[in-house]
Amino acid sequence: MIKKIPEKHGYYITGFTDGEGSFNISFRKRNDYLIGWKVTPCFNISQDEREILAWIKNILKCGTIRFRKDGVWMFEVNNQKALNQIILPFFDRFRFLSKKKKLQYQKFVNY
């Protein structure tokens, strides 16, 4: 699937993510979990305009879009299978240029 994404679209999404996206891991206290915490890796992009996020979602074929309380739209992928089979291979093919985002991505991958 990743191989079918045109380069111009892939690098546009990577550039957009470099400025507006993030990779993070959330920890939520959960008494019903063995270790007492739910650990969730997540990729997201926040933006004032929904249309660009819908386009990215359509290209990547995964994730959800929601409207946050602060008035910003967010495209989010926190499904482990989608992260492993789509998001990580995508950014391995269309690499970041900025040192900051490269480092953030590398930490996320090594998690």
Q: What is the CATH number for 36?
A: 3.10.28.10
Q: What is the mean pLDDT of each run of 10 residues along the chain (111 residues)?
A: 91 97 91 84 97 98 98 97 97 96 94 78
Q: How far apart are alpha carbons 97 and 28 in whole angstroms?
A: 32
Position 13, amino acid: I
Please give the structure tokens belonging to residue 35: 């270790």
Domain total for the chain? Answer: 1
* Residues across the chain: 111
User: In whole angstroms, what is the distance from residue 90 CA to residue 9 CA?
Assistant: 11
Res 68: pLDDT = 96
Its domain, for residue 57, covers 2-110
Prediction pTM value: 0.90
